Every structure is written in structure tokens, then in C-alpha cells.
Amino acid sequence: MAASIADVRSALSIPGHVTPNRLQQVKKQPSQSVKKPEGISRELYSLIGPSAPSLAAQLAKPRLKQKPNLGGGGKVKWEWRNFKNGARSDSLELGHWVKASVDPDSEYPFAKYNVQPTNYIWSPDEYARHLEDPEWTQEETEYLFNLVQEYDMRWFVIFDRYEYPRGEKEAGRAIEDLKERYFSVCRKLIRNRTWADENLKTHLQNLMQYDKDREQMRKRYLTSLDNRTPDQLQEEEALFIEIKRLEQNERKFKREREELLRIIAGIEAGLPDIADEDASVSLSLDPKRRKKGMDFEIPATPILTAPVMKKPQSYKNAAHDAQHCIIRNEPSGTTPATKAAHTPSYMRSYKLPVPKAAIAPRVTQILAELGIQHNRLVMPTKDNCALLESLLETTTALVETRKVVDKADYEIKVLKSQLEVRENEDEGDGTASVGEIDDSDVFETQKNGRGESIGSTRSTRNRKLCRRSMSTSSVDTSVTLPVRAVKRQKRA
Amino acid sequence: MVTYGGDEVSALVLDIGTSSVRAGYAGDDSPKAIIPTQYGFIPPSSDQDVDMGDNSDSTEKPKGARSFIGEAGPSLFRPGMQIGNPMSDTLIQDFGPIPALVRHVLQDSMRVNPSEHPILVTEPAWNTPENRERMAEIMFEEFQVPAFYIANTGVLNTFAAGKGSALVVDVGQSVASVIPVVDGFVLRKGVAYSNLPKLVAAHARHILLGNNIDLIPHQLIASKTPVEPNMPPQYAVREDKIPGVTDSWRQWYEDRAVEEWTQNMGGILEQGWNDQLAIQRPARQYEFPTGFNTFFGPDRFHVGELFFFHKPNLVASNSSLPRHIPALISDSLRACDIELRQVLMGNVVVTGGGTLFSGFTDRLHNELVRSFPHVKIHAPGNPVERRYGAWLGGSILASLGTFHQLWISKEEWMEHGKGIVAQRCK
């Protein structure tokens, strides 16, 4: 851009910032010439300048592949030096080879591994106040503590080397006795001393916990495990295989059932309890844990309770629901809570009420007259769904009522025409026909009653019709029923 | 180097066994010098002037006798020479020749000056406190070593196998032992050992003598002609040497002949004793120094079988029969805490030249797996490692940087005296 401006200036012959530009270029020159590409002689380069860089690669001499430099360059000087070990209390000087670069006054690198465990010592007064034990003398306790210190709490070794002279009648001490004495003394000492840091105190006390009875029980279990005869072992093995087989069958069965449920009921969500049962069964029967003898230390309950899935906590709280706009549909209490009754989640609009198949066309027709499409709601909210449902219900009732009314009208017409015929013929035997009408009338009445109960029709015209038909039919029945009864008695 | 925890201070490792003395630098993988523990000596009463070989060593015995130590010591025939062994049941019973042996192996074989190197010596698990103190005394007083340590062979074998806890099954020339090691310490209550290899050697000798085989060494044979198998040997004896043969030398060479035969012929049936299987195994030919040669069939396996099983009639006839290896192992385990069984049986270390019988490890595994399903045996395949496991463990231990605080220095020895040994070397 700058160049183009300069061009414009020169073209327009405007004197301006030409001089500083030139100076900069002059300054840059020497720094570029420093980078002389290899393979071009100095004279040639000074002639052609930096304008032929593409040639440089071809001009470079071919060379062999560079040897890798693995040593990091240069030789390392080693020297034989005597050293003193900081972990030693005497003045022994041993010699070893070290790099000459290492500081001769530096500490011996392995001295830091000489870590001594903390030793607990007590005053006679302290012993008298806290540590008295009828089973132990102070001397023996001190002997034990020295051994523990000497063998760094390796209890098996301590027990092996424990040779405190005791009375003939006293039995030798078991490893648990030694451990219990040591830990109890430590606990008491920690408890009765003042500590700057309470956390450290509780931490140390936790470290010193020891339950002799528990340990002895554990050892007895181990012994009984170890003393199993080959027959028992074999039986155990057979039982274990049997359990595995059963478990496998169970799992297979469950898998198949789940598959079926998925196909039939469309349950996509997992069935949590199936996984649960598997987990708890396999945990409780894991033989390796049993054989290792470790499980006696681990309490059994947490393992078994841990994998049980937590059911989503039900907030039955009405206030909570209102706050979060949650509306609960109570599941029907009658159906048992089995897999078969499981209802997957669904959209509300999927479950819109459908009119009865027999009268569906007429309902649709009526709704169409009103300009409503009953099988699709633009906004299927809960209220809208309820409204649609009641609308469909009333429409159905209306259709039914109208059907009844039509029928009644027709009956009345027929009866009137019959009456006219009879009046014309004057006298005649009409009992049979009356009976027939009777029957149909009873039927009508019942139907009417039902219609009344179901529907609360809104159109006044319908109501009027209804009333009329009711009155007629009731009159009819009241008249005809006794007649019929008399007739039947006569026949009998 | 620091990452491996090693720091070599040019320490020496000395492992004195019943059959051989091993010495070398700590940090090496095999001993530099191996010489037999047996030595020849001619009592001063003998007035014969003997010309010693170039490579034989002569040092003054306390009695004023001439002694012959090293490879050419006992094996070279010298009239009137007797054979002595300072070791008996892996313990040093006679400290008299020990300085000479040590001097030979360090100064004449390795050509080092002991006063310049710390030295680590091995001891068996059942070593007595007097013995180890005496050893320390010899090292400090006679060899002026700057530092000394005495370590247990069981522990060292464990270290050689790269473990901290193990059940070490060690079959040497005179003693078979089972040593439980936990966290680098021997559980003394669990140590079990018996003279089983001696029983095996006696049985082998019995087999050979039962076949009317002369155990005359090659040193005493002037000439022999090849013969067909099972034909009587044709050889001429060096009659001039016969008067100079002493009883102890005769015993030594007969033992050696038996040992050689056992090493070459002895085998163990992996699946336990079975007459059919023993017969099915191919017989092997063996030629004795006399030229007599024959084939050995099931006899070969009778020898090895003694390591694992004793016939009831043998037990009945001999009440003090040394315990066989499965018995030693079960005795050892019974003395240990029940919690340790799993650890120990998972780390069985087989070591010692006596375990080099073909089929030994397989048989041991088969025996153990019956009662301990999780048994795991560590047996080095390299014969040098197997025979000198204790030396190798010493080599590892003495080249560790963290070990150097454990040396008993000369200063400490002067200051505390003998008590320091028991205090430091636990």
C-alpha cells in the first residue's frame, strides 16, 4: 500500500516522505546479506545478491545422513570418592564412583530413607497412672516396645523373636496379645497427653485401633477355611458352579422378558430392578472374596445396600408442585404394579377421547357444523382436552337423545294412525297389537330415562320433545301394565 | 543408578557352603571365585617331601601341617594327604582352616586386598551366635576389613528371587531346609531342616555298591581298555600310589564318584512314584573311571524319590530318618501364622544345587498343589543362579545404597565388641 502511495507521489511528482523510506531500505540491506545461503561462494553472492535463493538448494553439496548425537555431547567425568553416610553414627567412610559434577559436600542420597518410627516412651508415674495391666509387667511392656521399635512394627517378625522369660504356668503370648498390648498402651498415651493439634490426636488414635476379639475370630475363620477337606472343597466348587448356572439362567430369562416387554409394551426405559437383583446376587456370592478371607474385615451390610437404586423421591408437596407447575396424574390404584401394567410416558394429545364407533359419523357431522375438528387440537392443554372431552360427551348424548326422540315421534304417528283406524272400524279385537305396543313402550321409557340421566341437553327443542315423549310413555305404561298382568293370569 | 537404588562401594560377598566357597564383587551376577570347601592336608608326622603343583596353595595349619586348598587341593593325589572339611551340616565346626580358605579365595583367586573392601558373609538360618561372632572376629582381626556384615542365606535367596517374603526351599550338599522369610526376616520358629541329601547320597552309594561297582578314582588308574556294557572292567591300578591313600581321601573320592553319578543319573518322576512309569523311562548309560559301563533304569528314580517320599519299611527300620521335603514344608508352615500361608505358598523359592535333579520342580509343584491350590514356585532356570542363589542375593544386598548404613564398621567393632553383631545383623 505504501509502495503504491509512493508511486502515486512520484507520478504526481509530489516531494514528500521519500527520503526516510530510502533510509530504511538502506538500513535493512546489511542484515539480509548476513544470511548467505550455503553452497554459493562469497564472490558470487555479492554479485547476484539475495535475488537467487531458489538456486541455493541445488548448489548445496550432497552430504551423508547426520549421525545421531545420543550422549548429549561431551564426556562425563567420573571419580572415585569417599563418602560418609548420614544415616550412620560412626565415621565409616566407604568409596564409590560419582560424577565429578556432583557436589562433594552434598548429603548421601540414600540417607533420607533411614526413617525411624515414632517410639512411645513413658515415665514411671505415667505407667502407674494409666498403663497398669494385670497381665503385663512394666518390664515386659518395655521389652515389647523395644522389639516393635527394632523390627519396625513387622508383627510376624516381632512375634517370632518375642522371647520374654515368663513363669512356667503361664501360656505363651499370642500375636494378638502383643498387638493388643502395644496398641492399647499407645492409645492411652495419646489420649492422656496434651496435643497441640487435635486432628492429629484423633488421627493417631484411629490408627491405633485394634480389636483383639475380631482379629481372633478372623483367624479362626481362616483356619476353618484352611482346614476344609478335599471333599468339602469339591462340594463347594460344585455348589458354586450350580449357583453360577442358576444365575445365568435367571439372567437369560430376564433378558428375554425384557426383550418381550420392549416389543409388546414398547417400554424403552430400562427396568432398574432387574439390574439391581443381578448386582446384589453376584456380590454376595462372589467366591473369590470369600476365599481370600478379606471380607471378614469389611462389614457386609454396606456392600449389599449400596447398589440398590434410589427411587426418585416423590415430592407430594402441593406447594412444591404448584411452584414448579407439576401436575400429577395419580396412577390407578386397582391395577397391580407389575411390568404388564407399566405405562410408558405419552403425549396428552395422543389420548384424546374418541366417540363410539356406531355414532362416530354423526358426532363428526355435528361437530363439523360447529366448525370443530375433534380428532386434532391445535393446543392440547389440559383444560382444552377436558373441554373437548365434555363436548364430545354432550354431543354423543345429544345424538342419542335425538335418535330416541325420532323413534318416539314415529311410534306416536303409528299409534295415532292405528287409533284412527280403530275409530273408523268402531269395534275390534286389538289386544294383541296393544300388547306389542306395550312392550315397545316399556323399552322406550327405559331408554328415555337413561337419556335423561346421561344428557343435559341444551337445546330447548330437544327438551320439549323429551318431556312430551316421557309423559306419553308413562301414561301408556300405567294403563297397560295391569292389563297385561290380567291377561297373563287368564292364560295361565 | 539412583533409580535402581544401587550404589556400589566395591564390597565383597563371601558365601561359604559345605561343598564350595564362593566369593565375588557385590553387583556382579555370579561369583568370581569358586573353590571347594574341602581341603587336603598332610599331618606333620608325615616325613615325605611332596612337590606341590603350581596352582595349589600351602598355608600353615595351626597344627603345623601342610594344607592344600583350592581346585587342585583335594583332587590332586598326594601320598598321605588327608581331606578335611571345616563345615558340618552347613555350620562351621572347625574355624582353624577358615582363614586359609578365605585368604585363598580372596587373595589368591580374586587377587584383592581384603582390607580395602567391605565384606558381606553368609550364614545359615540356624547359625549359632558364637559362630557369627567368630566369623566377624576373623574378618576384622585377621583380614582388617573396613566393614563387615553377616546375612542369612534364606533372606539372601529371597532377595535373589526379587522378593521380600518367600518360603525358601534350599537343598544343599548336606542339608535340605525350608525357611520362611517375611519382610526380609527369617521366622526362626518356622525353620525346618534335615540331612536329606546325605540320605540320598547314602542310597545312591548303596545302589552302586549293590551292583558291585568299584569306585576307584581316575587318579589311581594307570590304564584301562574299553569294554562292552556290563562286562567286567579291564584296568590297571597305580600300585605305587595305593600305599599313600588315606582313609579320608578314599572317603572323599568315593563320595565324589557317587555324587557325580547322582548328578548325572538321578531323576525324579514328576507325577509321583509309579513302577510302570519308572520302567518306561529310557535307561541311561554311565561309565565309571574304571571303564566299567552299564545302563541304569528305575534305579535312577529311586534316588530322587527319596526327596519326596519314604517307603514305610524304610521309616520303620530307621527312626531317625531325615524328613523329606513335603514334610519339611508342612512342618514349617504349621509353625507359621495362618495368615502367612497364602503369602508363603505364593512365593516358594527353590534354590541350591540339590534341586537341579531333573523333574524336581515339577514334582514339588505337583506335591504342593494338592494341598495348596494357589502355590507358585520360583526356580531360576540358570544353574549358576540356582546353585549360588545366596551369593547372588548377597551381591544384590551389598550393592544397595540403603544397605550401607547397616555395615558393622571396624570402629564399631572396636567400640562395642562382639555384641554389635547380634545387634546389627538381625
Q: To the nearest whole angstrom, how far is the Cα of A334 from the nearest Cα of chain B? A: 58
pTM exceeding the 0.90 threshold for the entire prediction: no
Q: Residue A55 has what pLDDT? A: 54
- At position A284, the amino acid (one-letter code) is S
Identify the bridge partners of residue B180 per DSSP, sorted by sequence position: B167
A102 and B CB contact within 8 Å: no
Residue A57: its pLDDT value, please?
Answer: 55
Residues of B with CB under 8 A from a CB of A: 2, 5, 7-10, 118, 146-147, 182-183, 185, 187-190, 336-341, 401-402, 404-405, 407, 409-412, 415, 426
CB A457 within 8 A of CB A397: yes
A99 in B contact zone (CB under 8 Å): no
**Any idea which of A5-9, A16-20, A147-151, B125-129 has the lowest mean pLDDT?**
A16-20
Tell me the torsion sign for CA atoms A126, A130, A132, A135: negative
B188/A160 Cβ within 8 A: yes
Tell me whether residues B7 and A85 touch, CB distance under 8 A: no
* Residue B410 distance to chain A (closest CA, Å): 8
Q: What is the pLDDT of residue A35?
A: 66
Classified as helix, coil or strand, A96 is strand
More confident residue, A302 or B158: B158
A97 three-class SS: strand
Spell out the per-residue pLDDT of chain B, length 426, in tens: 446 788 889 999 999 999 999 999 999 999 999 999 999 988 876 444 444 444 444 444 445 578 889 888 888 888 888 898 998 888 998 888 899 999 999 999 999 999 999 999 999 999 999 999 999 999 999 999 999 999 999 999 999 999 999 999 999 999 999 999 999 999 999 999 999 999 999 999 999 998 888 888 888 899 999 898 888 888 998 888 888 889 999 999 999 999 999 999 988 998 888 888 888 888 889 999 888 989 988 888 988 899 998 888 888 888 788 999 999 999 999 999 888 988 999 999 999 999 999 899 999 999 999 888 889 999 999 999 999 999 999 999 999 999 999 999 999 999 998 989 988 888
Contact A113 B402 (CB under 8 A): yes
pLDDT of A356 > 60? The answer is: yes
CA–CA dist A88, A107 (Å, integer): 12
Retrieve residue A272's grid coordinates: 432398574
Cell 524336581 maps to which residue? B360
Chain B positions in Cβ-Cβ contact with residue A223 (cut-off 8 Å): 338
Å from A224 to nearest chain B CA?
Answer: 10
Which pLDDT score is estimated for A276?
A: 43
Name the residue facing A156 among B182, B401, B415 (closest C-beta). Answer: B182
C-alpha distances (whole Å) from A284 to each of A18, A243, A278, A310, A423 are 92, 12, 10, 20, 96
CB atoms within 10 A of CB A225: 13
Helix (H) or strand (E) holding A95: strand A93-99
Determine which of A58-72, A295-309, B139-153 has the lowest per-residue pLDDT on average: A295-309
pLDDT for position B54? 40
* Chain A contact set for B404 (CB, 8 A): 85, 88, 94, 110
Rounded to whole angstroms, the Cα distance separating B184 from B156 reads: 8
Q: Is the pLDDT of residue A302 over 60?
A: no
**How far apart (Å, rounded) are the C-alpha atoms in residues A146 and A121?**
10
Q: Three-state secondary structure along chain B?
A: CHHHCECCCCCEEEEECCCEEEEEECCCCCCCEEEECCEEEECCCCCCCCCCCCCCEEEECCCCCEEEECCCCCCCCCCCCEEECCEECCEECCCCCHHHHHHHHHHHHCCCCHHHCCEEEEECCCCCHHHHHHHHHHHHHHCCCCEEEEEEHHHHHHHHCCCCCEEEEEECCCCEEEEEEECCEECHHHCEEECHHHHHHHHHHHHHHHCCCCCCCHHHEEEEECCCCCCCCEEEECCCCHHHCCHHHHHHHHHHHHHHHHHHHCECCCCCCCHHHHHHCCCEEEECCCCCEEEECCHHHHHHHCCCCCCHHHHHHCCCCCCCHHHHHHHHHHHCCHHHHHHHHCCEEEECHHHHCECHHHHHHHHHHHHCCCCCEECCCCHHHHHCHHHHHHHHHHCEHHHHHCCEEHHHHHHHCCHHHHHHCC
Alpha-helical (H) ranges within A316-373 are: 318-323, 360-370
Q: Which residues of B246-274 are buried (b: 16+ CB within 10 A; e: fewer)?
A: bebbeebbbbbbbbebbeebbbbbeeebe
Nearest to B182 among A108, A157, A223 (CB): A157
pLDDT at A334 over 60: no
What single letter denotes the amino acid at residue B257? Answer: A
**pLDDT of amino acid B345:** 93
Amino acid at A64: L
Quote the pLDDT of residue A429.
Answer: 52
Contact B105, B35 (CB under 8 A): yes
What radius of gyration, in Å, describes the C-alpha atoms of chain A? Answer: 53
